[in-house]
Chain A
């Protein structure tokens, strides 16, 4: 079903899409190599993992939650799997162990949120800290960086392969987006997630098993996270656990919010995340070609986010009765 939001001529999603097009056009005219196919592929590829993490975040945010443990879970689960392989474990087994770890951690987070009723912000913050601390202390025993073992077999193709001229990470990210889209739009649990984000009490009274559904959301997110981590590791040849301490998690929230997904739940979808991710991709790529400093890039990113949100609230004011608490 179409969201009521999309009936508006200019919502945040469209504003952001417009900004993306304008930026794209400006870069295309101003920068020499911008339109080269190789650069465009590099552009999309550079945000493929971010987009996948955005999908993982989306599933949780639509249900009015947030998952701050995504990056930690990705780094530790994949890093541990790589180390197990280096230690002689068969690849498939190590990957199963890694995936099991990622799912298990998000399961625990989900249970804390659904059954112990800890707000998702605190529960996942605690989980992030726990996963990183535990992982570095007991699982990943070497340095911060776990390198990709040589004999990864076909799995290495996830990051390095090219099919019909398109790098695998882009294909996997697109497949993830498609799967998320189909899941959210056409399956019962997908619709229930929207319902819970829109009005949790109404969903509960209606007979939706809201607690199992909450746990399920986080577990799904954990699965997508592991896949994203695997792509990262196989394309750059290592998993650097330091990313847990970078501001990557903010970038993930950024691409979700930028495209117009409401943090108050129930509003938005896969399309919004794609639009947000593409804008970040175009922006970063252009600024990198222009050699803009990293710190300045962050300032520009944040200004664009603010611009998108402010113009949306000016164009589509919320009224007293339809406004929700915590609305973006």
Chain B
């Protein structure tokens, strides 16, 4: 059978450095083809060449046997190729419905008409998003759903999903995978990128693995298992310890000082009368479904949301009552929030890696007074990119040129240079590969061991179970249950989050 899409020895160079070398790839009609590899392996670059974002330096792209080269994603879309980007590309000021129909508008657009149509369409996908909301008000997961809906709506023959599930909770993931099955039945070919290897094993027909921009192997999914994938991804077999599965024996850390206590905090419809305490020297995991108010609570605590809608409640930092209206005083007091939405509020994209890290260092009033010091910046950047194993040509590269997972590491480095007392990670390993997740978890564990109060908000249950010393479950704007490490199981947590 003729493949829908074929890449023949494609090479892509950035500033003379190859991000892809000589890669071959085929996509059969109606197949789900997973593309796996470490951060920076070239997955996004490969798919962006297909979708017309980049032009290949060398090699050919064949669509239905004919060579093509699309000038831009819009042209690719007209030829039946849609892509859901890793970093969101929605227009923030438009509503959900307007975003879905963007580029498809009739000459005269009735807003009410597209709201109704979008409502029905979203419902048919089982995505619970209000089509009249403006995209800037959505959380990361909801944005992802809108992004997926938009690609599906265009009735493309080939749909590329670049880490679509990174922010979704189990419930939405379930809907997403049934959507994939449906698309497949309709004969749509799908390229699926994910760092959740189990997902890839379950959903795909074939799997292709890239390493350092090279094609390593393509085979039927049935011929793979987790370990085989990992060794192909990293090029050697790794000790089980680094990739240790959930539930390895460990003991919960004891409670330290009470660093933060929140009493009856409320804000709008998102946070309702919630209370919680955070202790030093341990990791507090917060699990909950999307819209359960986890992120909002964290953002109130760290002064990120404006308190216009604040309805009351009390926050005490080490016994002292605090109420931050902006993040600056919170940062000065040692409370640092690591955002879940790195593209929107995580980094400065035209600035270098080094400057991104240094700016946060300066912002927390460290460093040499009024004058910036280049050597200090370079040294600081080296220390942190080594520690978090950020993969880049050098630290003078701008952050936008990094792969998604490496951008995430820069965002984390930016927070940690501020030497926080309390650090709140919101989806810290979003888009990070399996090996690097283990490394990041190691870093987070070290923070708690060194006495910091650490909070990890995550929609990924194994992550919460793996990291936390105690687990809080959030539902409908409040913390509804607390589990100690010993008593927590996936079932109990899920039950508390849903019921």
Contacts and interface: CB of A to CB of B under 8 A. Distances in A.
Contacts of B73: 320
Contact of A195 (B53, B54, B348): B348
A320 B355 contact: no
Contacts of A209: 326, 328
B386 interface: no
Contacts of B53: 319-321
A325 B93 CA distance: 10
B431 interface: no
B345 A199 contact: yes
Interface stretch (B230-238, B244-252, B394-402): B394-402
Interface string A1-31: 1111101000000000000000000000000
B372 A188 contact: yes
B350 A207 contact: no
B364 interface: yes
Interface stretch (B151-159, B256-264, B331-339): B331-339
A206 B344 contact: no
Nearest to A317: B72
Contacts of A195: 348, 351, 359
B13 to A, nearest CB: 14
Given A3-B350, A4-B398, A322-B400, A205 B371 contact: no
A72 to B, nearest CB: 31
A191 B351 CA distance: 10
A5 B350 CA distance: 8
Interface of A: 1-5, 7, 186-192, 194-195, 198-199, 201-211, 266-267, 319-322, 325
Contacts of A4: 350, 398, 400-401
23 contacts: A1-B352, A1-B354, A1-B355, A2-B352, A2-B396, A4-B398, A186-B372, A187-B370, A187-B372, A188-B371, A194-B351, A198-B350, A198-B351, A203-B348, A204-B304, A204-B326, A205-B339, A205-B345, A206-B414, A207-B332, A208-B359, A319-B72, A321-B53
A191 B372 contact: yes
Given A198-B348, A321-B87, A188 B370 contact: yes
B348 A187 contact: no
B279 interface: no
A200 B396 CA distance: 21
B429 interface: no
A202 B355 CA distance: 13
B205 to A, nearest CB: 28
Given A187-B371, A191-B372, A321-B85, A199 B331 contact: no
B3 interface: no
Interface size range of chain B in the complex? 35 or more
B16 to A, nearest CB: 11
Contacts of B370: 187-189
Contacts of A3: 350
B349 interface: yes
Nearest to B53: A319
A188 B361 CA distance: 11
A184 to B, nearest CB: 11
Contacts of B372: 186-188, 190-191
Contact of B363 (A2, A187, A207, A211): A207
B345 A207 contact: no
Contacts of B72: 319-320
Interface of B: 15, 53-54, 72-73, 85, 87, 89, 91-92, 302, 304, 326-328, 330-332, 336-337, 339, 344-352, 354-355, 359-360, 362-364, 367, 369-372, 396, 398, 400-401, 414, 418
Contacts of A204: 304, 326-328, 345
A209 B365 CA distance: 11
Contacts of B91: 325
B349 A198 contact: yes
B328 A321 contact: no
Given A188-B370, A208-B363, A202 B327 contact: no
A199 B349 contact: yes
B15 A1 contact: no
Given A186-B371, A320-B72, A202 B347 contact: yes
Given A199-B349, A207-B331, 13 more contacts: A1-B354, A188-B372, A189-B370, A191-B359, A202-B347, A202-B348, A206-B359, A206-B363, A207-B332, A207-B364, A210-B326, A321-B89, A322-B400
Contacts of B398: 4
Nearest to B332: A207
Nearest to B83: A320
A75 to B, nearest CB: 33
Q: Which of A194, A202, A203, A211 has the most CB of B within 10 A?
A: A202
A192 B331 CA distance: 16
Nearest to B399: A4
A230 B414 CA distance: 44
Given A7-B15, A320-B73, A320-B85, A207 B348 contact: no
A113 B409 CA distance: 34
Nearest to B338: A205
A322 B370 CA distance: 31
A191 B362 contact: yes
Q: Which of A198, A206, A320 has the most CB of B within 10 A?
A: A206
B351 A1 contact: yes
Contacts of A194: 348, 351
Contacts of A322: 349, 400
Contact of A205 (B337, B352, B355): B337
Contacts of B346: 202
A230 B54 CA distance: 51
A325 B136 CA distance: 13
A69 B380 CA distance: 41
Contacts of A319: 53-54, 72
A273 to B, nearest CB: 18
A211 B396 CA distance: 29
Nearest to B87: A321
Question: Nearest 5 CB-CB pairs, A to B?
Answer: A207-B331, A201-B345, A198-B348, A4-B398, A207-B363
Nearest to A191: B372
Contact of A207 (B54, B89, B328, B396): B328
